[in-house]
Amino acid sequence: MYLIGFPLLLIPFAIYNMIAFLFRAGFSDTLFSIQMLSKATLNVTTSDLLIILSIFLLFIEILKSTRVGTRSIVDHVLSFVLFIVMAGEFLIVPWAATSTFLLMLVICFVDVVGGFSVSIRTAQRDIDVGGLDQATRS
């Protein structure tokens, strides 16, 4: 799988920075509207799409963390580095001080903590099964 070793949450982070720094566009701009069955109108903003993309990529990252190996460790370390960079940008850069960026930062934190937790849990299961196999051979 080619996605291992690359933190996918880097994609919404890059998109956010392109919108904020290059285009100087607002995140509350309505991109499109959806007419609901209740006759209400749902206005979908740039911020909404970035958060939806981030949550979808978080799901894929959690699935990736179930793998065991050196690529998985590299993936976790890169996710942690991405979290540190995002936290630094949130604290230092004025354009990153938005609720959208804060939610993306929280999603990145969940990726780091969840990834390490799932990996540790998977490694414990492998150790238990490995010990059980050796005990039955004796």
Task: Say yes or no to pLDDT of 25 above 70.
Answer: yes
Predicted local confidence at residue 121, as pLDDT: 76
Q: Which amino acid is at 76?
A: H
Confidence tier at 14 by pLDDT (50, 70, 90): very high
Nearest to 48 by CA among 34, 28, 33: 28
Per residue in 33-84, pLDDT (tens digit) is: 999 999 999 999 999 999 999 999 999 988 888 776 777 788 888 999 999 9
Q: Which amino acid is at 90?
A: F
Residues 6+ apart with CB under 8 A from 123: 68
Residues 6+ apart with CB under 8 A from 62: 111, 114, 115, 118
Q: Where are the domains of the chain?
A: 10-137
Q: Using alpha carbons only, give the angle 18, 106, 36 rounded to the nearest 5 degrees.
A: 75
Nearest to 11 by CA among 64, 62, 63, 49: 49
Task: Say yes or no to pLDDT of 131 above 60.
Answer: no
Q: Quick one: what percent of the chain has pLDDT higher than 90? A: 55
Per residue in 70-101, pLDDT (tens digit) is: 777 888 889 999 999 999 999 999 999 999 99
Q: At residue 41, what are phi and psi to the nearest 5 degrees?
A: -115, 125
**Counts for the chain of helices (H) and strands (E), in that order:** 4, 2
Task: Say yes or no to pLDDT of 103 above 70.
Answer: yes
Confidence tier at 133 by pLDDT (50, 70, 90): low
